Structure 1
Amino acid sequence: MGYFATVKLGGIVIPINPTYKSLEILHVLEQVKPKGLICMDVMYGLIKPIQEKYKFEFIISTCIVDLAAIPPAVKEK
């Protein structure tokens, strides 16, 4: 959902390998200089230390359970 919302709003999606550690994530972020970040809740623990060094305008943390809450009518379309 975050991917499609970002593209719809004219943003650029930069996928980051979920096996990366904080320093590797920081290296990617320093290269692309994003304004914000959308991440899974399980990755937030790695993102939190980066917040101290890299100031995001926003961070959206989501989880797979959020997708389960989509009404059936929306899922079918």
Structure 2
Amino acid sequence: MVGEVVNLAEDFLVSGAAIDRFLADQLLIYMAISKAGYYTTNELSSHLLTNMEIIKKFLDVNFSMEQDAGVYKVSCHSV
């Protein structure tokens, strides 16, 4: 258990991403409400992808994801 947490932390720290996978899905709603924004994360979790689909059903926004050197840029913009 501790080893897994250490590995996750190390992977995040060396990635150079601004947000880890555990926060990335939670920030989507705030970007969607503002209808703009982006951040980088080191992993696209299933929670993140599910939240994107749910948010798009309620708000007129789209999300995009771009990968570069193991870091994903998650962006939001109005439709």
- Same structural fold, with TM-score higher than 0.5 when normalized by the shorter chain: no
Q: For the pair shown, which has the larger CA radius of gyration, 1 or 2?
A: 1
Please give the range of the TM-score, normalised by the shorter of the 2 chains. Answer: 0.3 to 0.5
Between Structure 1 and Structure 2, which shows a larger proportion of strand residues? 2
Q: What TM-score does the superposition give when structure 1 sets the normalisation length?
A: 0.36
Which structure would you say has the larger RCO, counting Cα contacts within 8 Å and 6 or more residues apart? Answer: 2
Q: What TM-score does the superposition give when structure 2 sets the normalisation length?
A: 0.35
